[in-house]
Amino acid sequence: MALVTGSARGIGKGIARRFAAEGARVGILDLDAKACQAVVDEIEAAGGSAEAVAADISAPAQVEAAVGKLRDQFGAINVLVNNAAVMPVGPLHETSLEDFDRLMAVNLRGTYLVCAAVIPGMIAAGGGSIIHIASVTGIIGLPRLAAYSMTKGALIALTRAMSTDYAAQGVRTNSVSPGTIDSPMLHEFVAWQSDPEALLRQYDAMHPLGRVGSIDDVANVCLFLASDEAGFVTGANYTVDGGISVKGEQPQDQAN
Ligand SMILES: NC(=O)c1ccc[n+]([C@@H]2O[C@H](COP(=O)([O-])OP(=O)(O)OC[C@H]3O[C@@H](n4cnc5c(N)ncnc54)[C@H](O)[C@@H]3O)[C@@H](O)[C@H]2O)c1
């Protein structure tokens, strides 16, 4: 069984739907029970199998209850995608302590809590695949995302450390670092601008491949990392970013 956190919408929902389409039973974990159930209904209508487990990943008792419910009903969780996150916007000194604490509670404490609840069963079952959804902001600097970027860099470091700790037990740990992805989080991020459409076009142009990514672009790489085809892949950070993280200054065309 696969558990995807933050899977009631956006990238997490896309990953859950993709896994279900490949035959996996998927745990849909998000804050809102109704929204989780709506994704379950969608997956079941498409012929897949899913279970809703509403929880706040920053709350230990809720995480234990959600993971325990999946384990009791369906056995070990073989694939875990740590996708749920929040993204306060602004330079560091303008990020409120409240937003900062929530960011750490969800993006880092939440990842820790879900891993701690899932890993013993994964090891007992002989191994599995853990995927942290990080971000290019963990690799390069982008404006107004300082505090968020701290958490994404931390997830990339965590990926390397966990891959070392759990390799002998057959647990592979990798991260996926999306560039700008066309998701509800992106649309909320641009909404503060006077011309969100113009900003979206700028995001397209920022990526060397000439467009922002789709949710499927991310789900495809997660599917690979979860599969046996990635059986020798651990400790890696896969950028899914249209080349933005390796982009240098673009030279002007020069006659030579
Ligand atoms: N959209 C992008 O451009 C982009 C780029 C790089 C990385 N990412 C990362 O991809 C992941 C998904 O992003 P998205 O764009 O789909 O975001 P989103 O805001 O659309 O979805 C995030 C989901 O996580 C859930 N969530 C938030 N806090 C939670 C909590 N405490 N407990 C349980 N669930 C919680 C939300 O309810 C929501 O359904 C995030 O980790 C994000 O940082 C997104």
* Chain segment 111-170, per-residue pLDDT in tens: 999 999 999 999 999 999 999 999 999 999 999 999 999 999 999 999 999 999 999 999
Task: Report the residue among 29, 107, 137, 181 best suited for mutation to probe ligand 1: largest number of ligand atoms under 8 A from its CB.
Answer: 181
Ligand 1 pocket: which residues have CB below 6 Å?
Answer: 5-6, 8-12, 30-31, 56-58, 83-87, 106, 110, 133, 135, 178, 180-181, 183-186
pLDDT category, 256, cuts 50, 70, 90?
very low
Find the 184 Cα to ligand 1 centroid distance in Å.
9
Architecture of domain 2-180+215-243: 3-Layer(aba) Sandwich (3.40)
Find the 133 Cα to ligand 1 centroid distance in Å.
9
pTM recorded for the entire structure? 0.97
Quote the CA–CA distance of 134 and 218 in Å, as a whole number: 11
Q: From the CA atom positions of the chain, what is the Rg in Å?
A: 18
pLDDT at 27 over 80: yes
Find the 67 Cα to ligand 1 centroid distance in Å.
19
In terms of DSSP H, where are the helices of the chain? 10-21, 33-45, 60-74, 97-103, 111-124, 146-166, 184-190, 196-206, 215-226
Quote the CA–CA distance of 13 and 252 in Å, as a whole number: 41
